[in-house]
Amino acid sequence: EVQLVESGGGLVQPGGSLRLSCAASGFSFSSYWMSWVRQAPGKGLEWVANIKQDGNEKYYADSVKGRFTISRDNAKNSLYLQMNSLRAEDTAIYYCARELTPYPGPLDYWGQGTLVTVSS
């Protein structure tokens, strides 16, 4: 069974940093592109970033470019999102998701999310 479990969310002050993790199981993690998607309270889904199987290709939404960094550790079956210079508008539930092959394609499995709150 494919499982994606996010962690690392919490309350952080504006301008602060946070690192999210996503533990993957039930599939060959190193064979898939992976994405982060967020959802602000009461709002729709917004794609944040994705990363290739070997970590050598990454793409970001304009809203986070230069502030967020996506990475992965295939030996640990884990995906990460380093978030710096956080703003109030980054407050959201952050989901990790697997991308269906062949690339590019839809997101076919999602985690339950971790809440990030940016507030003083």
Partner 1 sequence: QLVLTQSPSASASLGASVKLTCTLSSGHSSYAIAWHQQQPEKGPRYLMKLNSDGSHSKGDGIPDRFSGSSSGAERYLTISSLQSEDEADYYCQTWGTDIRVFGGGTKLTVL
Which ranges constitute the DSSP H helices of the chain? none
Instruction: Rule CB under 8 A: say whether 95 interacts with partner 1.
Output: yes
3-state secondary structure of 34: strand
Instruction: Rule CB under 8 A: say whether 24 interacts with partner 1.
Output: no
Question: Binding string to partner 1 for residues 27 to 66, with x set by CB under 8 A, is what?
Answer: --------x-x------xxxx--x--------x-x-----
Segment near partner 1 (CB under 8 A); pick from 7-15, 20-28, 76-84, 95-103: 95-103
Residues forming a β-bridge with 79:
22, 72
Dihedral sign, Cα of residue 57, residue 62, residue 63, residue 67: positive
